[in-house]
Amino acid sequence: MPRQRTDQLRVAIDTGGTFTDCVWVERGEIRMLKVFSTPADPSQAIVEALGRIGRPASLTLLHGTTVGTNTLLQRKGARVALVTTAGFEDAIEIGRQARPRLYDFFFDRVAPLVPADLRFGVQERVDSEGKVLEAPSPEELRSLVEKVRSARPEAIAISLLFSFANPEHERTLASALGGLGPLSVSHQILPEFREYERTSTVVMNAYLQPIVQRYLENLERRTAEWLTRGGKETQQAASLQDSQARIFVMQSSGGITALRSAAREPVRTVLSGPAGGVVGAAAMARVSGFERIISFDMGGTSTDVALIDRDIRAGSQAEIAGLPVGVPMLDIHTVGAGGGSIARFDAAGALRVGPESAAADPGPICYGRGVQPTVTDANLLLGRLQPHHFLGGEFTLDLERTRRLVGQWLRQQRSALTLEKFAAGVIRVVNATMEKAIRVVSIERGYDAREFVLVAFGGAGGLHACELAEGLGIPRVIVPALPGALSAFGILVSDVVKDYSRTVLWRALDKLPTQQLEREFAELRRSAEKDFRVEDWQGVIHYQPGVDVRYRGQGYELNIPYTRRLIDDFRREHQRRYGYVYPDRELELVTLRLRAMIQSPTHGRTRLPGRPGRDQRGSLAEHATVFLGGKKLRTTIYARDHLPIGKEYSGPAVVTEYSATTIVPPGRRFGLDRAGNLVIETR
């Protein structure tokens, strides 16, 4: 039975994949819990986790969700009607000239989220400077309302050609269509140029809005019922106000927002969980004195990698499920390689791993229900995972079932490989996929991976990190405290964040239009202050202004922090990114961006497991035979909880803990540093 609590509880929960991760603060120290996910209804696992923690007097729930991502990937969103400027109804289908696969003649582009019969054009026109050239007539508005009503959409997206310069016509349309369903309006969500990306973003928001809103309202209801009545159904619906609970949602940009804001603009949450991992990795590495890191998050279904060069910065051009998204997102690259990735032989007999995953149900073979071999099964067969050291011994991996079913599967495939050679091949293949992903965010973007530290987390990150680091020349690996729930920890310590932008398209050569810039940023700050006040946030607001800059004539921009040295900073960044500059070429200031933040109340006020002052009981070690580098090696098994801080060890080793397992190759030094992070020297 959970222990009854009477204090306040601040808890972060990251749903998705095989497990739902829960992290909370108790008496100033971070605690962690993992429960199996419930894909059919993620809120069920959340309430189960809350029930195992104990019921407090008041609750602050910070939530990272995959509902938006899964809805897009599975194409199970709402029926959306798109209203746009006449003549531009097909912009979301025409897209850009760029071909995702240049030499693939049989490649099919991703279909837009709105079919042709649900796109409606309006006779209106505003020029690029905001001057009204043609306003929609009352007759046309009445006709539009009837057409949209007869289409019976579940949500409506409105995106006019130059609404970022003058939103008057969008306001008129929103007023006319307001009674027909939830609205997503471009000047509210993304007041920027590039009509294709803006329209795609607004359509995506409308596509997700009913689904995410229902999910969040269900989570709100179930949380309130659990908090006020212990989860018992009653005739009277519980409310968060009655239950003294507040729910916030993690955004793709690396900050939390209020539940109502997330329900209104769900497009900002599609990378909710992975963004928490990046924030958590940066926070833990900074405590150990490292600010240049590559985060490596390997979970059950996918691997997310990101590069952080001192500051976490969100980009404004991303792609989700093959569709462009223009709202701020952390620059995270995802590949279909995780612990649950399924291994198979293709038609030519080559071994493939992923992107298909066994997910939470049925899961890997060793979990007891799966029947197809996965990366987790391969790690178990090689001894890299220890059956009785999984989830702190709460769950035992079924080694005999794995050996039997994988052996049967290999015979069915008519493969002559032994179990060990097959498992070693699975590890090599999945490592190659993940190494390529790390190259994408580092080497391909002008960074030398050897100058960074690899921060490995997720349930499977520590199993593969050292091999990846050695292959890329990365000198050091950090496995932070709580590696299997670091995304939840990142959500817990995330600041409240709101992002604002406005396209201006100003020219500059050697002198900035400083007064105009200050005036526009002041307007964006006033918008931020108003939004924080409406949502009843308390605290000092910190601002990070930036400007998207390009050489005149270029098609894409670089975002540069706004200072009086903006022009010089742009040229330096252009030289680093592309290898050249034009000293005398005219610049264009394209879009102004403002990030407004209120610092998390947990910032600097919590003590992590593994930090000085924890009870150290000495190193209690076991030994086992593990396949490493193609050889059977007698390997020491260490319990991370028993490693003294500051003492150095040498591989080969397997370091086990509640939420993850870490492999240390032969001859590599490792140990816990003063922050409680596991630091491994890879060269």
Give span(s): CATH 3.40.1360, the chain. 74-209
pLDDT bracket for residue 162 (50, 70, 90): very high
What's the pLDDT score for residue 607? 54
Averaged pLDDT, 492-503: 93
pTM of the model: 0.86
Residue 652, preceding bond cis, omega within 30 degrees? yes
pLDDT exceeds 60 at position 1: no
Q: Could you tell me how far CA 291 lies from the centroid of its own chain?
A: 20
The answer to whether 251 and 497 are in contact (CB under 8 A) is yes
CATH class of 496-598: alpha beta
Topology annotation, domain 74-209: Dna Topoisomerase Vi A Subunit; Chain: A, domain 2 (3.40.1360)
Identify the residue whose tokens are 């099964």. 377
The answer to whether 294 and 307 are in contact (CB under 8 A) is yes
How far, in Å, CA of 51 to CA of 349, rounded? Answer: 48
* Residue type at 93 in one-letter notation: E
Least confident of 316-325, 464-473, 485-494, 605-614: 605-614
Express each pLDDT in 327-384 by its tens digit. 999 989 888 888 999 999 998 999 999 888 887 778 899 999 899 999 999 999 999 9
Give span(s): CATH 3.30.1490, the chain. 496-598
Express each pLDDT in 180-238 by its tens digit. 999 999 999 999 999 999 999 999 999 999 999 999 999 998 888 887 765 454 444 45
Least confident of 287-301, 420-434, 596-610: 596-610
Least confident of 26-30, 151-155, 622-626, 629-633: 26-30
How far, in Å, CA of 421 to CA of 440, rounded? Answer: 29
What's the pLDDT score for residue 7? 64
Instruction: Among 2.120.10.80, 3.40.50.700, 3.40.50.1970, 3.30.420.40, name the CATH number for the domain at 8-71+212-269.
Output: 3.30.420.40
3-state secondary structure 236-250: CCCCHHHHCEEEEEE
Q: DSSP labels for 214-265? A: HHHHHHHHHHHHHHHHTT---SSPP-HHHHTEEEEEE-TTSSEEEHHHHHH-
Give span(s): CATH 3.30.420.40, the chain. 8-71+212-269
- Segment (H or E) for 132: strand 132-134
- Tokens representing 446 are 């002008």
How far, in Å, CA of 303 to CA of 296, rounded? Answer: 7
Calculate the alpha carbon distances from 75 to 57, 141, 199, 268, 307 in Å: 40, 31, 18, 18, 30
pLDDT bracket for residue 606 (50, 70, 90): low
- Tokens representing 535 are 């949502």
What is the average pLDDT score of the chain? 89
How far, in Å, CA of 660 to CA of 296, rounded? Answer: 14
Least confident of 2-6, 239-243, 259-263, 522-526: 2-6
How far, in Å, CA of 679 to CA of 676, rounded? Answer: 9
Express each pLDDT in 107-131 by its tens digit. 778 899 999 999 999 999 999 889 9
Bigger pLDDT: 389 vs 463:
463
Least confident of 385-394, 496-505, 548-557: 385-394
Residue 362, preceding bond cis, omega within 30 degrees? yes
With a pLDDT cut of 70, the percent of the chain lying above it is 93
Residue 355, preceding bond cis, omega within 30 degrees? yes
| Residue 515, burial from CB neighbour count under 10 angstroms (0-12, 13-18, 19+) | exposed
pLDDT bracket for residue 94 (50, 70, 90): very high
Identify the residue whose tokens are 């108003």. 530
Express each pLDDT in 654-678 by its tens digit. 999 988 999 999 999 999 999 889 9
What's the pLDDT score for residue 228? 76
With a pLDDT cut of 90, the percent of the chain lying above it is 64
List the one residue out of 497, 498, 556, 502 whose CA is nearest residue 190.
Answer: 502
The answer to whether 38 and 16 are in contact (CB under 8 A) is no
pLDDT bracket for residue 610 (50, 70, 90): very low
